[in-house]
Amino acid sequence: MAAMPGHLRTVRSPEFAGMVFHEVLAKSALNRVPGQSSMPFSWTVNPYRGCSHACVYCFARGSHRYLDLDTGRDFDSQIVVKVNVAELLDRELAKPSWQGEYVALGTNTDPYQRAEGRYRLMPGIIEALARRQTPVSILTKGTLLRRDLAQLADANSRASVTIAMSIAIGEHELQQSIEPGTPTTRARLETIAAARAAGFAPMVFIMPVLPYLTDSTEQLNTLLRDISAAGAESVMYGPLHLRSHVKPWFFEWLEREHPDLVQPYRSLYPGASSKAPQRYRLELAGRIRPLMRRYGLDARPANRPAASVALRTSATQLPGVPSPPTLF
């Protein structure tokens, strides 16, 4: 990492045991989404690379390969921190060429992961976007979002701010096993309630639904009931998507935690296939859609990139939208 252009220093801190932060001076803050992408936004901002939330299924893992780090443990623990991202963003948004297009945060790695507690990059990012009246969507699993809700509400009065929380697993032990670095589902539901109280209409992404682990009617009913009670406005869902760089990591976890499911998963995701088969997706839709209607969570909010992403990629999960290999 020390050889990387822009590298300032590498930091280990007793408050973040097992974590390594690589502080870099980025060359740009706004990343253009590749032209051929089906994503409904053109720009993203990623203050961090790697994610301490450490979700086993995360398909952003591949982005760490470009840093010569591995897509497993390194992705979870070696976090690249763009310490100048807010200052750069402010400058880029001030250019006459900036068209005020939607900017998405949380499409690659989580902006409210643990490192944000130390580096506090988001307040500067939010302020830069609000100052230039730039609409933004934020997708996160991080309860640290609550720290910035007042600022986000102020930004929402100047330009549209959409908040989406990813909550896919209701059962505590399973959730902590497969998303070991994340806040609990309960804490995330409380964050939804806090966002609602701050004037937002939060969305929840139930992504990924895990075949045979979280997809029974009873499990989905409980989760949707709790999401509704927390005050979410709508829900998007999608079954597990297993890209090639995630598959070995995921199967290693499955063999350790649920060996009886290895064969059923190999049947659902044979060989190089990354998507659950259509038969499975139809069965899942048959179970979850009536529940979404029951709890009034089936609205399709218009003009919201986060929602549009989910609608267009219902066979995939977010975050984890692939990013271009040019990182800094």
Q: How far is the CB of 57 from ligand SF4 (least distance, A)?
A: 7
How many residues of this chain bind ligand SF4 (CB under 6 A)? Answer: 11
Pick the closest to residue 47 from 76, 24, 14, 74 (CA basis).
24
For ligand SF4, the closer of residues 132 and 188 by Cβ is 188
Preceding amide of 290 cis, omega within 30: no
Q: Which residue of 21, 40, 84, 110 would you call a contact of ligand SF4, by CB under 6 A?
A: 110
206 touches ligand SF4 (CB under 6 A): no
- Ranges of H-type helices in 55-102: 73-77, 85-93
141 touches ligand SF4 (CB under 6 A): yes
Q: Which residue of 24, 26, 39, 51 would you call a contact of ligand SF4, by CB under 6 A?
A: 51
List all residues 6 or more positions away from 293 whose beta carbon is below 8 Å from its beta carbon.
none
Helix, strand, or coil here: 10? strand
116 touches ligand SF4 (CB under 6 A): no
- Judged by CB under 6 A, the stretch of 51-59, 154-162, 249-257, 297-305 that binds ligand SF4 is 51-59
CA distance 194 to 152: 12
Q: Which residue of 109, 191, 228, 308 would you call a contact of ligand SF4, by CB under 6 A?
A: 109
58 touches ligand SF4 (CB under 6 A): yes
Q: How far is the CB of 54 from ligand SF4 (least distance, A)?
A: 6
Helix, strand, or coil here: 101? coil
- Ranges of H-type helices in 231-277: 247-257, 262-268
Which strands, in side-by-side order, build the sheet including 20-24? 7-11, 20-24, 78-82, 48-49
Q: Which residue of 26, 33, 54, 321 would you call a contact of ligand SF4, by CB under 6 A?
A: 54
Task: List, in sequence order, every residue forming a beta bridge with 138; answer none if it has no partner.
Answer: 105, 163
Tally: H helices and E strands in the chain: 12, 11
For ligand SF4, the closer of residues 103 and 207 by Cβ is 207
CA distance 96 to 252: 50
53 touches ligand SF4 (CB under 6 A): yes
Q: Is the dihedral of CA 307, 287, 320, 12 positive or negative?
A: positive
Q: Which residue of 55, 268, 297, 327 would you call a contact of ligand SF4, by CB under 6 A?
A: 55
Q: How far is the CB of 68 from ligand SF4 (least distance, A)?
A: 19
Q: How far is the CB of 112 from ligand SF4 (least distance, A)?
A: 9
CA distance 152 to 161: 7
Whether residue 214 contacts residue 174, with contact meaning beta carbons closer than 8 Å, is answered with yes
321 touches ligand SF4 (CB under 6 A): no
208 touches ligand SF4 (CB under 6 A): no
Q: Which residue of 224, 319, 321, 327 would you call a contact of ligand SF4, by CB under 6 A?
A: 319
Q: Annotate each residue in 9-48 with x if it binds ligand SF4 (CB under 6 A) or - if it does not, as one string.
A: ----------------------------------------
Task: List, in sequence order, every residue forming a beta bridge with 237; answer none if it has no partner.
Answer: 206
Q: How far is the CB of 8 from ligand SF4 (least distance, A)?
A: 23
245 touches ligand SF4 (CB under 6 A): no
Task: List, in sequence order, every residue forming a beta bridge with 175; answer none if it has no partner.
Answer: none
188 touches ligand SF4 (CB under 6 A): no
Instruction: Tell me the CA distances in angstroms from 130 to 27, 29, 89, 241, one per residue in order.
Output: 22, 15, 11, 34
168 touches ligand SF4 (CB under 6 A): no
- Judged by CB under 6 A, the stretch of 34-42, 50-58, 232-240, 294-302 that binds ligand SF4 is 50-58
- What Rg value do the Cα atoms of the chain yield, rounded? 19
Question: Where along the sequence are the contacts to ligand SF4 (CB under 6 A)?
Answer: 51, 53-55, 58, 60, 109-110, 141, 319-320
